[in-house]
Amino acid sequence: MPDYKAPLRDMRFLIDHVFDFHGHYAALGATDASPDMVSAILEEGAKFCENVLAPLNRSGDEEGCHFDNGVVTTPKGFKEAFAQYVEGGWHGLAADPAYGGQGLPSSLGLVLSEMIASSNTSWGMYPGLTHGAMSAIHAHGTEEQKDTYLNKLTAGQWTGTMCLTEAHCGTDLGIIKTRAVPEADGSYAVTGSKIFISAGEHDMSENIIHLVLAKLPDAPAGTKGISLFIVPKFLPDSGERNGVSCGSIEHKMGIKASATCVLNFDGAKGFLIGEANKGLNCMFTMMNHARLGTGMQGLCLGEASFQGAVKYANDRLQMRSLTGPKAPDKVADPIIVHPDVRRMLLTMKAFNEGNRALTYFTAQLLDTAHLSGDAGQRQEAEDLLAFLTPICKAFMTETGLEVTNHGMQVFGGHGFIREWGMEQLVRDCRIAPIYEGTNGIQALDLLGRKVLGSQGKLLRGFTKIVHKFCAANADHPQLKAHVAQLNELNQQWGELTVKVGMAAMKNPDEVGAAALDYLMYSGYIILAYLWLRMALVAQAQLDSGSGDGDYARGKLATCEFYFKRLLPRTAAHRAAVEAGSECLMSLPAELFAL
């Protein structure tokens, strides 16, 4: 298994120079997030992840979770690591001080989450789901519910889940069968079965708080009839065991140390959160948090894979360079001299560093949406978040899977062998394009709801940012060619959107046919904008002689690679979008059979 080292230099480059987190925090009044505090979080978080979590990654994969008559036990060391995490105050880093949190900006929580998921994705799912539950209760719970649950969740004494889907419905939540019957004491008796519940049962906390989607007896049909309920494993007032049990845990391809549970609710006592029949709206607070976290998993597993691959490529000797020996004192050259290996490593580097920039850009929007005293700023940030969330989830997981596959390929045959650890990263990453709404669902959300559903408003909110950036840097001495390329794509983006919208007015299938390619096309343009922002800073550092010259040159070379080797993929995605739905839908279903 590759040794994980937190990429602090790249993190600091983004935090200190590209996005100026310190000025951002000052503008929002987040005075506790001082430069010294940020530095301490980076340093100490890195130590925890490198020294405590990373050593448990392979052993957790090999051991997996244990199921015994409803009792789930996590792999050796997981429970102790969680206790150390809680004791260190990490769990409440960005939580509300009113409930025991430190009240630091959400962006710092995401920076920490990146290191956690890079070092041990399975372990990170336990606190990650809890943070989502906390956000939903904080946003939609009554004062009594907040007082009852948030203090213990923030402290890490309790953990949380979200219970959405059922065996028969997948993403189509409008047809769930779980029912909630009103009781005389104001609670509800919740009955039904939920599947794929991450961290649904385990031994790491005293209690588990489930947020469960269910329907009231008189609920309207479809998604308009879904309500959300808090269903604790143990009732907070009495400590009595509630009517919820784990029926089994799934045997999975990856993230084996994360307990993925079937949960059975048998008249379990639940408490309505938010309004009746408005549960999906409440759950989206949690789902959007989870979607951003899932998108980050593509980055995180890609980072771990890159670290292993680049070390191996420098150490592994095989064949001679096509232009003559580069290590004449050795029997062969290290494989990093070969162009195809360089292609894979640079693809990994370009996606990882671009996706990290996208994560931090989005994280700042979360801060603004939560902390700004200006209503206009908050709304602008929320609109951009609505637009970017499905892209973060889908684009980052698709490219993350590509990156982990490249990482395994760099190792050649050894990449297919378990003890090197590279195949685990591929297996762990493979779920990310599937859960929290498949990437096809994310694409429909982006194109159908966010872009066309807003008559292009949410798209224009981002393309205006890119347009202003391009106008301001059109004459940049070293980067003007790339700026012009980005500006042209930015204009084409709007034109392509109009073309899809016009076609969809005649045939709604055009949206579904175009959606995934449209999302990937959008993602490549967004990363191009962010790569140019990084390149501008790197070039300025070189020009002024400040910073790390080798690091800056590496940034500029990777930006060049992105624009010449990866950004041209937009042409293929655009062609696929323009191809329309007929070639997809004309073949009768019965002709798919052998």
- What's the pLDDT tens digit per position in 55-108? 999 999 999 999 999 999 999 999 999 999 999 999 999 999 999 999 999 999
Amino acid identity for residue 380 in this structure: E
Give the integer Cα–Cα distance in Å for 464 and 491. Answer: 10
Comparing C-alpha atoms, which of 79, 45, 44 is closest to residue 60?
Answer: 79
Can you state the percent helix, strand and coil of the chain, rounding each to 5? 60, 10, 25
Q: 3-state class of 421 per DSSP?
A: coil
Mean pLDDT of 343-368: 97
For residue 291, what pLDDT band results from cuts at 50, 70 and 90? confident
- Residue 436: per-residue pLDDT: 87
Phi and psi at residue 93, in whole multiples of 5°? Answer: -50, -50
Tokens 């498949």 locate to: 438
Domain map of the chain by residue range? 8-155, 159-278, 439-586
The question of whether 436 is a catalytic residue gets the answer yes
For the chain, what is the mean pLDDT?
Answer: 96
Q: Alpha carbon 480 to chain centroid distance?
A: 32
* Residue 137 near residue 153 (C-beta atoms within 8 A): yes
The token pair at 512 is 């579904």
Domain 159-278 belongs to what architecture? Beta Barrel (2.40)
**Lowest mean pLDDT segment, chosen from 254-268, 289-303, 332-346, 574-588:** 289-303
CATH assignment of 8-155?
A: 1.10.540.10
Q: Return the top range by mean pLDDT from 129-133, 558-562, 587-591.
A: 558-562
Tokens 């890079």 locate to: 118
Percent of the chain with pLDDT over 90: 95
Say how many CA atoms lie within 13 Å of 27 toward its Cβ: 14
Give the integer Cα–Cα distance in Å for 111 and 131. Answer: 14
**Of 250, 398, 423, 436, which is the active-site residue?**
436
Can you give the length of the chain in residues?
594
Amino acid identity for residue 157 in this structure: Q
* Residue 411 near residue 348 (C-beta atoms within 8 A): no
- What's the pLDDT tens digit per position in 434-481? 998 899 999 999 999 999 999 999 999 999 999 999 999 999 999 999
Give the integer Cα–Cα distance in Å for 367 and 488. Answer: 31
* Residue 123 near residue 257 (C-beta atoms within 8 A): yes
